[in-house]
């Protein structure tokens, strides 16, 4: 398995090449068809790994429209935006790399390396290709958008990979077969007008196609509403006896849903490709860290992973800095509570407290109960059992 950052860098020229070819094919040609000598000359003149100013402007406008429609007013959620060449192009060059990186980070948490993979709501296949790069041997990408699947196939050809595609939408039967991994990236939030029960029913049907010890990975935008909706779907499935492999260590109803103002999401640092930086700038967007909400679910009948012994928590907030102390929210087998430490208590055994980040899994000892949480003192120790995006060492 390659390094995700390097793998993603290799995808950038492929994404650009495929986009340029499809854009040209969709435009009326001046002075001859797409193989006319002049057209080929122009293609050779274009920079391989980045966009020209005009291209950036075009993609930036599409990304602005997608960002507004998918994350602000949500008018595009559930709409056929992948069938609009301008928006599909913007998705391919901006959101594809983001989804790919999110997927690689999530797949690195799986207990087993999946071989047979199905990517539902694949669009042009960022999760499908992430699975291939993470060691999958056969991948099926399924979506209702023909143009998006066509791009997935073009990318596979460009990369010299094999990829099967299927037209699919939730009212149709799932593609044939059983899989070690099924992924659903940023699609569940676009289904059933926000209704929770039919989403949970769909995930149950999907889980029937997951092989024993395999996983269903659902990735969603880190927005408050889409994250809370995912947690509600999680609760329905957990209530029916399904186990969550990650990120939850708490086996009851998600405690982040107790207050209307709370939600839970993940955040990963990443080396943003230059292309994304340039497009974000052109679209006046900020995209520094990778934020997402995700769930890794086990098929029916599998038990929850045994939690490590002791007082174990996943960090589920950023550091909340106060006067001389730092506080995080932690969520573990005993629930979601505040964890705090004063700087004056810092020593060899506990100083990692000031270094932990959202997603890390920690074990702490010798804490004191404080209000609705725990305080680490100079007697306390802290151990990191897993960095964000890595499997938890169960000891």
Contact residues: ligand SAM, CB under 6 A: 78, 82, 95, 99, 121-123, 126-127, 143-145, 148, 168-170, 185-187, 190-191
Gap between the Cα atoms of 359 and 366, Å rounded: 22
Gap between the Cα atoms of 339 and 337, Å rounded: 7
Q: In the bound complex, what is the minimum distance in angstroms from residue 183's beta carbon to ligand SAM?
A: 8
- For 39, counting Cβ atoms within 10 Å of its Cβ (0-12 exposed, 13-18 middle, 19+ buried), the class is middle
Gap between the Cα atoms of 143 and 161, Å rounded: 19
Q: What does residue 293 show for φ and ψ, rounded to 5 degrees? A: -115, 140
Stated as kind and residue range, the H or E segment containing 47 is: none
Q: In the bound complex, what is the minimum distance in angstroms from residue 356's beta carbon to ligand SAM?
A: 28
Those residues with Cβ within 8 angstroms of residue 355's Cβ, 6 or more apart along the chain or in another chain: none
Q: In the bound complex, what is the minimum distance in angstroms from residue 82's beta carbon to ligand SAM?
A: 4
Q: In the bound complex, what is the minimum distance in angstroms from residue 308's beta carbon to ligand SAM?
A: 31
Q: In the bound complex, what is the minimum distance in angstroms from residue 15's beta carbon to ligand SAM?
A: 12
Q: In the bound complex, what is the minimum distance in angstroms from residue 244's beta carbon to ligand SAM?
A: 20
Angle at 154 (CA atoms; ends 282, 37), nearest 5 degrees: 80
Residue nearest to ligand SAM (CB): 185
Residue (7 or 302) nearer to ligand SAM, CB: 7
Q: In the bound complex, what is the minimum distance in angstroms from residue 320's beta carbon to ligand SAM?
A: 30
Q: In the bound complex, what is the minimum distance in angstroms from residue 296's beta carbon to ligand SAM?
A: 15
Gap between the Cα atoms of 284 and 59, Å rounded: 12
Given a contact cutoff of 8 angstroms between Cβ atoms, the answer to whether 287 and 66 are in contact is no
* 3-state SS string for 152-171: HHHHHHHHCCCCEEEECCCC
* Rounded CA Rg of the chain: 22
Angle at 336 (CA atoms; ends 315, 221), nearest 5 degrees: 60
Q: In the bound complex, what is the minimum distance in angstroms from residue 130's beta carbon to ligand SAM?
A: 9
3 state SS of 216: strand
Those residues with Cβ within 8 angstroms of residue 124's Cβ, 6 or more apart along the chain or in another chain: 82, 88, 91, 92, 96, 148, 149, 151, 152, 155
Residue (139 or 331) nearer to ligand SAM, CB: 139
Q: In the bound complex, what is the minimum distance in angstroms from residue 121's beta carbon to ligand SAM?
A: 4
Q: What is the largest CA-CA distance in the chain?
A: 79
Residue (82 or 386) nearer to ligand SAM, CB: 82
Q: Which of 271, 166, 248 is nearest to 209 (CA)?
A: 166
Distances in whole angstroms, Cα of residue 368 to Cα of each of 308, 316, 345, 371, 375: 20, 20, 13, 10, 5
């Amino acid at each position: 398995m390659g390094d995700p950052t390097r793998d993603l860098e290799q995808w950038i020229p492929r994404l650009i090449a495929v986009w340029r070819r499809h854009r040209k094919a969709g435009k009326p040609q001046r002075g001859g068809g797409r193989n006319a000598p002049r057209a080929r000359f122009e293609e050779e003149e274009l920079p391989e790994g980045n966009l020209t100013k005009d291209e950036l402007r075009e993609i930036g406008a599409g990304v602005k429209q997608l960002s507004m429609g998918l994350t602000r007013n949500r008018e595009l959620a559930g709409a056929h935006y992948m069938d609009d060449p301008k928006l599909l192009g913007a998705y391919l060059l901006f959101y594809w790399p983001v989804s790919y990186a999110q997927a690689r980070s999530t797949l690195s948490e799986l207990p087993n390396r999946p071989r047979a993979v199905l990517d539902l709501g694949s669009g042009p296949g960022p999760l499908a290709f992430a699975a291939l790069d993470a060691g999958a041997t056969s991948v099926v990408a399924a979506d209702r958008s023909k143009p998006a699947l066509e791009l997935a196939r073009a990318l596979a050809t460009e990369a010299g990979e094999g990829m099967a595609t299927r037209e699919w939408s939730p009212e149709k039967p799932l593609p044939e077969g059983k899989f070690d991994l099924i992924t659903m990236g940023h699609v569940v939030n676009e289904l059933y007008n926000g209704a929770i029960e039919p989403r949970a029913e769909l995930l149950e049907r999907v889980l029937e196609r997951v092989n024993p010890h395999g996983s269903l990975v659902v990735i969603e935008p880190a927005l408050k509403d889409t994250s809370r909706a995912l947690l509600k779907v999680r609760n329905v499935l957990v209530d029916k006896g399904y186990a969550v492999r990650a990120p939850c260590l708490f086996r009851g109803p998600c405690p982040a849903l107790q207050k209307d103002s709370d939600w839970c999401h993940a955040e990963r640092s990443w080396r943003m490709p230059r292309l994304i930086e340039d497009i974000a700038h052109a679209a006046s967007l900020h995209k520094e860290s990778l934020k997402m909400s995700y769930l890794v679910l086990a098929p029916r009948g599998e038990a929850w992973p045994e939690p490590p012994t002791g007082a174990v928590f996943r960090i589920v907030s950023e550091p909340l800095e106060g006067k001389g102390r730092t506080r995080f929210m932690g969520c573990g087998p005993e629930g979601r509570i505040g964890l705090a430490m004063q700087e004056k208590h810092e020593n060899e055994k506990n100083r990692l407290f000031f270094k932990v980040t959202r997603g890390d899994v920690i074990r702490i000892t010798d804490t004191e109960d404080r209000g609705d949480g725990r305080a680490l003192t100079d007697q306390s120790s802290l151990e990191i059992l897993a960095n964000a995006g890595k499997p938890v060492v169960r000891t």
